[in-house]
Amino acid sequence: MRIGASIVLIAVGAILAWAVAPGLIPFVDQVLIGYILMGVGVLGLVISLIMAASHRPDRVVEHREREI
């Protein structure tokens, strides 16, 4: 999951949890689903940021010549 997908999950979860009237979809607890989506989005965002910070594209490669 990338940063953009995590932000979308957080936004959709917030809309379901706080902006949509409860009971709009029968037999579904929209608030709980919204909180679950926000939690997954936050977790994905944290993991994406950690992985992006640990990725070091500027590696130094050292070549050594063999001595004969």
Residue 64 forms part of a structural domain: no
Cα 28 to the center of its chain, rounded Å: 24
pLDDT of residue 47: 93
45 in a structural domain: yes
Q: Tell me the three state secondary structure of residue 22.
A: coil
Distance between CA atoms of residues 11 and 5, nearest Å: 10
* 42 domain-assigned: yes
- Domain span at residue 35 reads 3-54
Q: Is residue 24 part of a domain?
A: yes
Q: Confirm whether 15 is domain-assigned.
A: yes
Q: For the segment 54-65, what is each residue's pLDDT rounded down to a tens digit?
A: 766 666 777 778
65 within some domain: no
Residue 63 lies in a domain: no
- How far apart (Å, rounded) are the C-alpha atoms in residues 18 and 10? 12
Residue 67 has pLDDT above 80, yes or no: no
